[in-house]
Structure 1
Amino acid sequence: MAPSVLAMLVAGTTAAIAQEKDESVAAPVPESSIGDIVVTAQRRAESAQKVPLSITVLGAGQIEREGYRSFQDYAVRVPNLSFSQGGSSIGGLGQAISLRGIYGTNTTGVYLDETPLPGSVDPQVVDLERIEVLRGPQGTLYGARSMGGTVRLITRQPDVNEFSGSAHGIISSTRHGGANGTIDGSLNIPIVAETLAIRAFAFGDYQSGVFTRIPSADAPTQYSPRDNLGASRRYGGAIAARLQLLDNAISITPRVIIQRSRTNAQPYADLVAGNFVQKRLFDLDDKGTDDWNLFSLTSRYGADFGEFVSVTSQFNRDASDSENASEAISGLLGFTTPSLFRGSSRARTFVQEFRFTSAFDGPLQVTFGAFYQKSNILTQIPSNIIDGVGDFYNYRSRNRTTEKAVYGEANLSLTDKLQLIAGLRYFRNIVSLSVSQGGVAVGSGAGTFNEVQRESGFNPKFGVKYALTPSVNLFANAAKGFRIGGANAYSENLCAADRQALGISADAARSYRSDSVWSYEAGIKSSFFNNRLVVNATGFHVNWSNIQQSVALACGFSIDQNGGRARSDGFELEVQASPAKGLTLGTGVGYTDARITDPGALAIVTAGARIQQVPRWNLTASADYRFAIGAVPLAFHGDVSHVGSSLSRSNLLTGRIRPAYDLANLRLGTDFERFNLTFFIENVFDKIANLADVPPLALEDPNRPRIAAGRPRTMGIDMRAKF
């Protein structure tokens, strides 16, 4: 990872620190206070402490102070946010996200600025203004895929007045692995003062592999061991422009963001998370890629009575994966043979949204909008040719989805303290699915299958907010959220008997509807002692209906069906305190009890069963202390996180337990205004987390589940310079 560049950055940072020491310009230790953050969770700029919903905000200072680089770095710091490795091997760098126990594909929305992204996308954490995690259904303002909540990544915008930039580098070493390196930088250039600016950033990241592959006892050839497997490389960047006209009444911001990811082998442990040795029959090249581009254009017009916004975006993603399935296929065929499955996915998504947010003089404020999204996803597994067998399996599917919606939300202040909220979204969706498959593995199930699903409906929201004092706000919400339905494509001739045995009609098997939740929450947001103590708490109850469930048919196909109900109960508590000068303490507690209440006619799982991938408890605590030794200001940060045990049904219907795990991180470094040098230890006690048993491209070897494992202890130096 460009060691010469990192070395120059170290030298430059050290020289800058020495200069600041010589000139005695060290920043003073700040007074104890917890700063408020302005968010746009409700599509208008508001104090996070005033927004009447449960929200965790991670500001730019915290992102830099705690060293976040990817989703998994900050996910454990958010109460009632859980995650697992993604539901498909293709694009294996992704993840599946759950909020408040609502788990499954497309249950949590992910936004990069104003653009929705697939939940499996993990943008590198670079040049962000903040991260907002909105818990509870966001079906009115954010639509489908937000029935558990929404994660928003807000980037820094071009500044038309001030030139600025940054350089950042990390050198580290990982136990069981080797050297890692990260480098990134940003630059903001005003072209025409108060009118035009350009902002850009670029990054490169290398994480060493921690796995070693060796021949299994029954391998036909004793090949040489291979180290550093599971190593990953990421690189990319962005460039944006901002044009401001008519005293900033009009702003136009085009932006291009790209990210490229490479893994040199499947980064999964056998049987248990701490096993870093992969025993294989054959040494096959099972690498993967995940590349995406986001093109967006955001235009705003601000009038005295409100703001008009137009957001246009195009998201392109190409992912590929390969999987050594020799053990499973050899067991199936009865003789030893190499088998490498390859899969690819090509996604193209266009989004257009228009929105008006009022700034009326008076007690009523409104937000109105219209939304359109069209996506086209092509997934392929090319022919897997096996000697003596021929084409074992091939697969191709194309999923086209069109989503249209109009929405509105109104806030009415009845008094200076009491505010009522009501919202409604109307949606209309069309899903078209075409699948073809062949090969000896499916026999008479080969062929092409097509289906179309259409659906429309409403999502309401009701809320109330009461300002008990200027610094204590109470709120309550009742809201509906939904997840888009879809179509099934399967062999009716081959699977008719299996379908009938389960009591599923031919018409019902062709598609499945959206499932939905009704959520009820009540909370308090409060600050005391001149903002030196902040306490926020929310309790919730969620009813989940018509749950989308995957039904495995004995013929080898699987179909999605609606059935059953679930409920989720729990709370979030977040506390921040500054008890002394330079000292800030924080803690977060999330509790979720999410269970099936009615298994439905299919009875795939039993009543009382836990929702998979959802821990009951997740806890986090942190301490930040800023102090000085002589003229050198220093900063200490420490945090611990606990994630409770959960159940995974990714490969086994009866489920596998994901054990609880604890993580601890320490950081100590200089705290100059423009130059920082920090020493860090991540995963201090070297606890290897089980992040899921990952579904394979082919079929799972029942004697060897593949575990997505957390990263071992990593130690290094983090350097940052701003100008």
Structure 2
Amino acid sequence: MNVLSVRLKQATSTLALCGALMVPTPAFAQNAEEAEADRTEIVVTAQRREERVLDIPLAIAAVTAADFDKRGARRLQDLQFSIPGLNIVETSPGSERLQIRGISQQAGLPTVATYIDEMNMNPNAVTSGLDIRSVDLERVEVLKGPQPTLYGEGSMGGTIRYITANPDLDKIVGRGSAEFGAIEGGNTGYRGEAAVSVPLVPGKLAIRVAGAYEDTGGYVDTRFGKDQNATRYTTGRIKALFRPSDSFEVSALYMHHEWDQKDASYAFDDGTYIFPDSLPQPAKGQYDVANLVATADLGFADLVSSTGYLKSSGSLDVFFPFAFPVAPGVNIPLSFGSRTSAEFERWTQEFRLTSSGDGPFKWLLGATYTDDAIKNGNGQLPITTPIALTPGQTSKAWAVYGEGSYTFGAATLTLGGRYYSDKRSDNGRTQDNTFNTFNPRFNLSIKTGDSGLVYLNASKGFRSGGFNTPGLFAPGEETYGPESLWTYEGGFKQQLIGKTLTVEGAIYYHDYSDIQSVLLPITNAPSIGRTINSGVARGWGQELAIVARPDKTFTATFTVGHNDLTYRTASLAVLPGDPLDNVPEWTASAAIDYRKPVSDNVTIFASADVSHTSGFFSTLRLFQTLAIVQRTGEPFPLVVRALPRDIVNVRFGAEFGAITAYVFGRNLTNNFNAVYAGGVIQANQGARPRPRTFGAGLSFNF
């Protein structure tokens, strides 16, 4: 998690086109024959009931296990530009900045809600996300736009749900894979994964165990050696499913995940990060999550109880090189190094009642309670003794929500809302505040036959306020307030030409107010700033996706997304016309997939994909208040840009019954433009992506 990160994180025309989300391959639970029959019948539970993606009047992308395998992806970040509106910036492991449809900030709580099954994984801290790998997943659901009714606070830009694979109650099944890749200019990375499901009481009780280990390989050279930024990930998960009758079931999940990065991925264009006084910037962390879910069929409705526990911890080292000017052309080189450590703990309980049946009226009622606590500490490098953690902010939040829809003819009207109350305390100053809000949702959809629909949607998102850390700041800034977002959207989903062509699109408008932004210190200390509410942003966005499948052997996918959300007011942090941080104006992708049986037991396959992002900006206007410069003597920039990136990947292989062998090439153009352009900490370096990589893999299932 990134309650740890102390780095400050750092596009503009409107296009009137209809847009959309990716229509991916079928769910992992489907067998190959079903998948070949119809690739559009994927079923999701994004609206807390089972529905086809094409029947849901919202912009939803479903990325299945087959998608991850086909593209060789190990996390959602690897596929982000094939989902219009999604952008993920990672400065270090466990430091993901998730943003959907341009709702992205450098401060405050996350703007995207993240779930594993029924468990809310959002850290109650600085904008970030826990590192979640694609280990034995059934699918990932990406819901775009505010999701106030069903997912609540933090789901301003949208919600991402990781759905783990269930145990098989009837038979033993398993899968495994091994892969390695040689990095150009770096060393070799490798990964292994295995999962097995065993019925303990056939038809009633089964368990599924999955695990993975990955060494990404390094490619950044520092003064301590070559290829220093390799990261090791370890994941283990066990899931049990008990179904004593057709009307009742219980699932229990426990998962452990940890990461260990030797040094950060910041580098210059030549792949080096070398200063005479530079220090390593390791990142370590782990989390444990448990989720107990009970479902009972009451006849008129399904009752769901979800009890969850999350505990995460970690540490992050930061090295900040700068200089102090003492005369024209004369600068004294200086540096500041720090370590931040933190622990986060959450207990959560949710009850939900969802109506059954196929009648015209459907409804849903629910209530949640969450209890969060943070401990943190920091120290200046070098550190020879463990950092003592002290209690920090706490949150005790509850919510009640409900939603109802009525279908009349081809039209369906949906109304919903959530009342949310969050009592926050800062134990360091014995200060507390309560943030309350009501967030409604309105939706009208009209079916266009069995193969499509059009819809209008309006919804409000909310993000709590909080407390700033005491520091060198002006009085009256101890607390910052909440922010809110209204999003208005129109979209369509349509299948054409005998379901061989699927087109989906959406156009939306954001009205974003009381935005939380970083405020830097009023002194010249190279210290991390605090948060203020900096004004209003508005703008349009559009998305479009097209999937063509003329026959069972060939699939082509095209997506494009555009965002023009900019600030409309001036503040200490931003000016009118500034884009929001880390938001690309354009993203696009294209992919082809070819699969051809050549005998009863052999199928050959080939896939290729290209993704594009126009780059993005980070605004650091307040940095001009500090009388320090870069080591080169240049002033720190007020606006930092991440350059455009184009990434090309290919994969070839064959399936020999239950065994699959393949070779791959990733980032064939060897694009080394930064995925994050740096900021106060690294002003002219950036977090760099993995260079061109070639490798091979082997997988099996039974």
Do both proteins adopt the same fold according to a TM-score greater than 0.5, normalized to the shorter chain? yes
Judged with a 3 Å threshold, the aligned counterparts in structure 2 of structure 1 residues 385 and 186 are, in CA distance, closer, same or farther, namely closer
2:224 is the counterpart of 1:207 = no
Which of residues 395, 400, 422 is equivalent to 1:406? 400
Q: Deviations over 1:51-90 (max 9, x none)?
A: 010111112221211111023212122101112235xxxx
Q: Which moved more, 1:274-283 or 1:356-365?
A: 274-283
Q: Structure 2: how far apart are the matches of 1:346 and 1:694? A: 26
Number of residue-to-residue matches in the alignment: 641
Alignment TM-score, normalising by the size of structure 2: 0.86
Equivalent position SS for 1:398: strand
Query: Is the deviation greater in 511-520 or in 118-127?
Result: 118-127
Q: CA deviation at 1:590?
A: 0.6
Say whether residues 1:511 and 2:474 are aligned partners: no
2:576 corresponds to which of 595, 607, 611? 607
Q: Which amino acid aligns with 1:376?
A: A
Amino acid at match of 1:114: E
- The residue that corresponds to 1:538 in the other structure is 506
Q: 1:529, CA displacement in angstroms? A: 2.7
**Alignment CA distance shift 1:527-1:489 (3 Å):** same
What is the aligned partner in structure 1 of residue 412 from structure 2? 419
Cα separation, 2, equivalents of 1:128 and 1:553: 44
Please give the residue correspondences for 1:11-410 in structure 2 after superposition, counting only pairs within 5 Å: 33-85=38-90, 92-104=93-105, 105-118=109-122, 119-214=128-223, 226-245=225-244, 247-270=245-268, 274-282=269-277, 284-325=279-320, 327-328=321-322, 340-360=337-357, 362-384=359-381, 398-410=392-404
The residue matched to 1:671 in structure 2 has which SS? strand
After superposition, give the CA deviation of every residue in 1:668-717 in whole Å (9 maximum; x if it has no partner).
Answer: 1003442111110011111113111446xxx736xx53411111011111
- Structure 1 contact 29–627 (Cα < 8 Å) conserved: no
Q: How far does the alpha carbon of each residue in 1:381-422 deviate from its partner, in whole angstroms, 9 at most, with x for none? A: 1355799xxx9x99966111111100001111122x111000
**Amino acid in structure 1 at the alignment position of 2:423:** I
Report the CA distance between 1:582 and its aligned residue: 0.5
1:632-711 paired onto structure 2 within 5 Å: 632-649=602-619, 654-694=638-678, 700=681, 705-711=684-690
CA contact (8 A) 2:65 2:138 kept: yes
- The one-letter amino acid paired with 1:606 is L
- Report the counterpart of residue 694 of structure 2 in structure 1: 715
Identity %: 27
| Aligned-partner Cα distance in 2 for 1:342–1:31 | 52
Q: Distance in 2 between matches of 1:689 and 1:33?
A: 39
In structure 2, what is the Cα distance between the partners aligned to 1:465 and 1:661? 37
Q: Quote the offset at 1:43 in angstroms.
A: 0.7
- CA deviation digits over 1:597-626, x for unaligned, max 9? 123xx3421112111211111001100011
Distance change (3 Å), C-alpha of 1:204 and 1:655: same
Q: State the Cα RMSD in Å.
A: 2.7
8 Å CA contact 1:589–1:618 kept in 2: the answer is yes
Q: Per-residue displacement from partner, 1:141-164 (whole Å, max 9, x unpaired)? A: 100110111111111111211210
Per the alignment, residue 442 of structure 1 pairs with: none
SS at match of 1:320: strand
- Counterpart Cα distance in 2 of 1:663 and 1:112: 29
Q: Which residue of 1 aligns with 2:562?
A: 591
The 1:28/1:240 distance shift into structure 2, 3 A limit, reads closer
Post-superposition offset of 1:113: 1.0
Retained in 1: the 8 A contact 2:288–2:311?
Answer: yes
Matched, 1:621 2:622: no
Q: Counterpart amino acid of 1:520?
A: Y
> What is the alpha-carbon distance in structure 2 between the residues aligned to residue 635 and residue 134 of structure 1?
30
Residues 394 and 607 of structure 1: CA distance in aligned 2, closer, same or farther (over 3 Å): farther
Q: What does the per-residue CA deviation read over 1:537-587, in whole Å, with 9 as the maximum and x for residues that have no partner?
A: 111111001111222231457332224111131111111111244011111
Structure 1 counterpart of 2:48, one-letter code: R
Contact (CA 8 Å) 1:337, 1:386: kept in 2 or not?
no
TM-superposed CA distance for 1:450, in Å, is 4.7
More divergent stretch after superposition (163-172 vs 277-286)? 277-286
Paired residue secondary structure (2:39): coil
Give me the whole-angstrom Cα distance separating, in 2, the residues matched to 1:331 and 1:373: 50
Q: Which whole-Å CA distance do the structure 1 matches of 2:608 and 2:449 have between them?
A: 33
CA distance in 1, matches of 2:293, 2:454: 34
2:444 is the alignment partner of 1:464: yes
Per the alignment, residue 497 of structure 2 pairs with 529
For residues 676 and 620 of structure 2, the distance between their equivalents in structure 1, rounded to whole angstroms, comes to: 8
User: Alpha-carbon deviations, 1:284-305, whole Å to 9, x = none?
Assistant: 4432202111011111111221
After superposition, the C-alpha distances for 1:205-237 in whole angstroms (9 at most, x for unaligned) are 0111101123xxxxxxxxxx5112001101121
Q: Is contact 1:485-1:513 (8 Å) kept?
A: yes
Please give the secondary structure, in 2, of the residue aligned with 1:289.
strand
Q: Secondary structure at the match of 2:273?
A: strand
Match of 2:371, as an amino acid? K
Residue 173 of structure 1 aligns with an amino acid whose one-letter code is: A
- Residue identity matched to 1:75: Q
1:473 aligns with 2:468: no
SS at match of 1:226: coil
Q: CA–CA distance in 1 between the matches of 2:248 and 2:206?
A: 14
In 1, Cα distance between equivalents of 2:695 and 2:246? 44
- Give ranges in structure 1 of 5+ residues lacking alignment: 1-26, 215-224, 436-448, 500-505
Q: Given the superposition, is the C-alpha separation of residues 607 and 634 from structure 1 closer, same or farther in structure 2, using an over 3 Å criterion?
A: same
Distance 1:129 1:404 in 2: 30
- CA apart distance, 1:339: 6.1
CA apart distance, 1:513: 2.0
CA separation in 2, counterparts of 1:116 and 1:545?
A: 25
SS at match of 1:228: coil
Distance of aligned partners of 1:546 and 1:651 in 2 relative to their CA distance in 1, 3 Å threshold: closer
Contact 1:476/1:522 (CA < 8 Å) preserved in 2?
yes
Q: Unpaired runs of 5+ in structure 2? A: 1-31, 123-127, 624-637
The match for 1:5 is none
2:511–2:538 contact (8 Å) kept in structure 1: yes
Taking the aligned partners of 1:636 and 1:452, their CA distance within structure 2 comes to 57
Alpha-carbon distance in 1 for matches of 2:35, 2:75? 29
Question: 1: distance between equivalents of 2:153 and 2:84?
Answer: 22
Check the 8 A contact 1:551/1:559 in 2, yes or no: yes
1:120 & 1:453 partners in 2: Cα distance?
24
**Partner residue in 1 for 2:529:** 558
